[in-house]
Amino acid sequence: MKKIIAVLLALCSVIPMALTGCGKSDKEKILIYTSAEDYRVTYMQQRLSEQFPDYDIKIEYMSTGDHAAKLLSEGKDTTCDITYDLEYGYMQEMEDKGYLADLSGFCDFSRFDPEVVESNYYIPELRNGGAVIVNPDVISERGLTMPTSYQDLLDPQYKGLISMPNPKSSGTGYMFLRNLTNAWGEEAAFTYFDELTPNILQYTSSGSGPVNALLQKEAAIGFGMTAQAVTKINQDGANLKILFFEEGSPYSMYGMGILNGKETRQSVKDVFEFLYTTYGEENCEKFYPEKIYNDKTFDVENYPSNIKYGDMKDNTSAEKERLLAKWTH
């Protein structure tokens, strides 16, 4: 009898452990690399958790440059399933190396404006427009004048008070370099940034750095993302002014893709479809309303209208690599 009781007790202790172990192993794991801002990562994690409670979805943030470098380094051995919010130049490079899955068999590209569709290997996510963003409080407190052109920013009154993302690590930083190179010519653009450097507080590693510096009153002026500034104005009541100069708003296209071989997993396809359809529209409606869809437009409070875009031609991965090789700051 004692032996029977001992066996029953042993079984009672083993069965729950076995069931628990089975529960953990049955939950699909999905890894997403992203360069989206922190508030968008928070919202994405919330929506994915609501939509897919039976999946274990991890979102790993890194700056655009680090994001691309990690995927290119890992190649076909990556544990990443989905890349989200990566600039088109890097996406093209990933495609060229065979690291992205062909999406044409199960993704609907017709929902997007043909102008923003470049490949069957990545889906448009957003148009990221840039602006020169100012904290009027810092301008006033320091007795500075409000700039009206890029040339104004060379004035010594702004010494150490301008923040810009480093083009080598940030797609946002690169789009300013690309825009001014196209507008003025390469030599003039690089000379300009050489002359601007004494006024730079910091070349930040990510595109969100300048707006954060403005909010902390470390900087008076930032080369930043229009959408991030608007979000801070709307959500936090931040006092920021968005300026567009004669050269127009620089912009970059950002996309999403599935890593080659990962498209065979239904869970990855499920999450990806949700990201480029339902969540994609929510992302534009809440944060990035600049046009990417065929038949949908979005209005966000305090978002500038009738934006004049800058010249962004030759925005290829090869040209980007060439220009960044010359960048020394």
Which residue bears the tokens 């359809």?
A: 277
Contact in structure between 251 and 310 (CB atoms under 8 Å): yes
Contact in structure between 84 and 275 (CB atoms under 8 Å): yes
CATH superfamily of 28-127+252-286: Periplasmic binding protein-like II (3.40.190.10)
Fold match, 28-127+252-286 / 129-251+307-326: yes
Contact in structure between 245 and 238 (CB atoms under 8 Å): no
DSSP 308: P
CA distance 91 to 85: 10
Per-residue pLDDT at 17? 45
Per-residue pLDDT at 316? 82
**In this predicted model, what pLDDT tens digit does every residue of 8-46 receive, in sequence order?**
444 554 444 444 444 455 889 999 999 998 989 999 999
Token pair belonging to 323: 């220009």
22-54 burial code (b ≥16 CB/10 A, e <16): eeeeeebebbbbbbbbebbbebbeebbeeebee
pTM: 0.75
DSSP 151: G
Per-residue pLDDT at 27? 83
- State which residues of the chain have pLDDT below 70: 1-25
CA distance 283 to 296: 13
Per-residue pLDDT at 170? 87
User: Which overall architecture, per CATH, does domain 129-251+307-326 show?
Assistant: 3-Layer(aba) Sandwich (3.40)
Domain residue spans of the chain: 28-127+252-286, 129-251+307-326
- Show the CA angle centred on residue 295, arms to residues 297 and 34, nearest 5°: 65
Per-residue pLDDT at 206? 86
Token pair belonging to 70: 């990690």
**In this predicted model, what pLDDT tens digit does every residue of 90-108 receive, in sequence order?**
899 999 999 999 999 999 9
CA distance 49 to 259: 21
Per-residue pLDDT at 21? 47
